[in-house]
Each structure stands twice: as C-alpha cells, then as structure tokens.
Amino acid sequence: MREIVLDTETTGLSPAEGHRLLEIGAVEIVHQAPTGRVFHHLINPERDVPEDAARVHGHTTEVLRDKPVFAALVDAFLAFVGEAPLVIHNAEFDMRFLNAELALLGRPPIAMERVVDTLALARKRHPGQANSLDALCDRYRIDRSKRVKHGALLDAEILVEIYGELTGGRQRSLSFEERREAGAAALALARRPIEPRPARASLLRPEEADAHAAHVATLGENALWRAYSPAEEPRTAAV
C-alpha cells in the first residue's frame, strides 16, 4: 500500500490570519517502508516570517525570499501525492494550510477522509500521556538528536518510524535506511511487469486426446466448445 507521510512548516498558526506555508516535506512509503522518493521544498510565503516562528524552524524572510512560491510547486506536489492516503501528525493543522494554499489557486481541497492523523492514533493508544513527536520518539526510542529545530522533511522521516510503531507494522530493529531499502524493493516488485507463465504440457494420454477429439467432431460446426478449443483431428494408432 502506497502512503505519503507529510509535514509542513508555516509562518504562524492560522491561515485565517494571513499565515502561509513555507516548507513541505513528504516521504513516500510502500507497506510502511520508505521507498527513497521524497518531495521537499522551501517556499516563499509571499509575506514576512515572524521572529517567533523563525525561532521554531529557522527559516527567515531573507532565506525564503528567492525560493519558489507555492503556485510554482503545486503541480509537482499534487503529482507526487497522487491519490495516496496522507499520514500527518496533528493533521488538522497541516491540512488547514494546504487547503488554504490550494484555495488561493482555485484548486479543489484535499479531503480529510484520506488523511491518517498519527496524533489521534497516539492519543488512542496512549491516553492521558504526552503525544508530541518528541514524546513519541522518546517513548519508542527513536533517534531525534538531529531535531534541533523543526524541519518538514526531518519530521516526516521521523514520523515514518512513529507511524510504524503506532500501527505495529514495523520491526523496531530496522534502521530508517534499511526500511527505505525494503520499501524500494517492495515498490520495484509492485511495478515489475507480470511475465506470462509458460504453457504446461498436456497430462492427457494419447488415447484420451483421441477420444476427446472424436467427441468434439460429433458436436457440429457451431458447437460452443469450438470457440474455446479448436477441434483436433482424431489421431490413428501407430501400426
């Protein structure tokens, strides 16, 4: 099964207040293993980045000024996502921003019905406990040492491992690299053309084949059997 694990970074907390996307990170997984295909872009939000937001993810107005706007990336993003389910932590937040950006371009929204919210999964599995990405990494002993600041691609890669733990679908002994290799192998297998099977030799004895051919000959030229298996001439026994 193909899914897209996704994370975003933004200029603030609400698109209704004029805040915009500034980074998208997405990881393709097949049977919950990374295939090696990712979609990752910094985005010019076409507005300033408040200092409190920049402290979270490290992306300033100056850094983003020469990056492509969302309109320049939307087709590539939608092509990468395709019709696959989206796996997102605290999905309502990211989906509000994604759909707000799509609405600005007159594009249809992405339905929440195709989204798996790992925060909801974590709350169901660990009620009353902290279920942030950091808390889940600590609970499942997932390395988060590189997560000094929030980053969309890094968080999506971490979420791949968390998602596997929440659904019981991954072996904890596998590293992210090993999972990516396993996913790539699964994707290659899924895309491999199916080769036709070689014809099997008939198990009929010669006398059985002769009897069958003789019977078909009595059915007439319009017999339904002839549409599936052309009649053979009865064979004569060797002298």
CA angle 28, 111, 4 (to 5 degrees): 5
Q: Which residue has the tokens 């707000």?
A: 100
Catalytic residue among 40, 126, 150, 212: 150
Question: Does the CA dihedral 124-126-129-134 come out positive or negative?
Answer: negative
Radius of gyration for the chain, computed over Cα atoms and rounded to the nearest angstrom: 29
Task: Note the Cα 25 to chain centre separation in Å.
Answer: 13
Q: Is-contact 115 146, C-beta < 8 A? A: no
Q: Which residue has the tokens 């942030």?
A: 132
- Strand-pairing partners, residue 102, are none
Active-site residue, 41 included: no
Nearest 5°: phi and psi at 6? Answer: -135, 145
Q: How many residues does the chain have?
A: 239
Q: Pick from 130, 85, 93, 117: which is nearest to 16 by CA?
A: 93
Q: Is-contact 140 165, C-beta < 8 A? A: yes
The residues annotated as belonging to the active site are: 150
